[in-house]
């Protein structure tokens, strides 16, 4: 009886070893593939930077202010817009769909950085931030009547994104 149990234990150990070895092999191939993708992305260049001008107040459009700001700073960047003649509780779902559609369109074009120029209700800004969260770096600009636009910071990034950027730095050192 002990001989049978000994043989079963040996077979179980061999199976466990094979599964463990296969798991490590799978992990290493995925990590290598991921590093290769990051290296390729870094070799292609920085990517597309876009100014996203959001105007939600009736009869107002921030595009002119954004163009003036970018020209003054000597920055050449494509400007894309989301406009609405006011916003209400009834129009909010459609507006959120516009935000999501714009994000998908920019993602399909390979956007790497967004500069957000926003004019509208603060409550709607939370919905926009929710859509833009954990995407690409989004720089938020504030308009002051006295001084024009100024960058107030970067939307908070997730731990996952920070870990990915750390991996990018590690891969860049190896390249």
Does any domain span residue 112? yes
**Is this model's pTM higher than 0.75 or not?**
no
Q: Are residues 61 and 74 in the same domain?
A: yes
- Does residue 164 lie within any of the structural domains? no
Phi, psi of 155 (to 5 degrees): -60, 140
Q: What is the span of the domain harbouring residue 17?
A: 1-45
Residue 61 CA to residue 59 CA, distance in Å, equals: 7
Tally of domains in the chain: 2
Residue 39, judged by CB atoms within 10 A of its CB (0-12, 13-18, 19+), counts as: middle
Is 169 among the domain residues? no
Is 105 strand, coil or helix? helix
Give me the DSSP letters along 119-134: ES-HHHHHHHHHHHTT
Task: Tell me the pLDDT of the chain (175 aa) as tens digits.
Answer: 888 889 999 999 999 999 999 999 998 888 888 777 666 655 555 678 899 988 888 777 788 888 888 888 888 888 988 888 778 788 888 888 888 898 989 888 888 888 999 888 888 888 888 888 778 888 888 887 777 788 877 776 554 555 566 666 666 665 5
13 with 56, same domain: the answer is no
Residues 148 and 91 in one domain: yes
Structure token digits, residue 175: 């390249």
57 contacts 137 by C-beta, under 8 angstroms:
no
Answer yes or no: do 36 and 62 share one domain: no
- Is residue 110 classed as helix, strand or coil in its secondary structure? coil
Same domain, 36 and 56: no
């Amino acid at each position: 009886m002990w001989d049978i149990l000994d043989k079963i234990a040996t077979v179980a150990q061999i199976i466990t070893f094979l599964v463990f070895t296969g798991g490590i092999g799978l992990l290493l191939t995925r990590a290598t593939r991921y590093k290769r993708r990051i290296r390729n992305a870094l070799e292609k260049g920085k990517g597309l930077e876009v100014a996203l001008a959001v105007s939600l107040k009736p009869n107002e459009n921030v595009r002119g202010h954004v163009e003036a700001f970018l020209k003054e700073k000597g920055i050449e960047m494509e400007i894309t817009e989301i406009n609405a003649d006011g916003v209400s509780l009834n129009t909010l779902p459609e507006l959120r769909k516009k935000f999501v559609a714009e994000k998908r369109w920019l993602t399909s074009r390979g956007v790497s950085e967004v500069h957000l120029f926003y004019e509208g209700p603060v409550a709607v800004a939370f919905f926009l931030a929710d859509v833009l969260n954990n995407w690409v770096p989004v720089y938020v600009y504030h308009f002051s009547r006295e001084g024009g636009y100024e960058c107030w910071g970067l939307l908070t990034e997730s731990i996952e994104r920070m870990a990915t950027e750390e991996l990018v730095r590690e891969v860049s050192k190896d390249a």
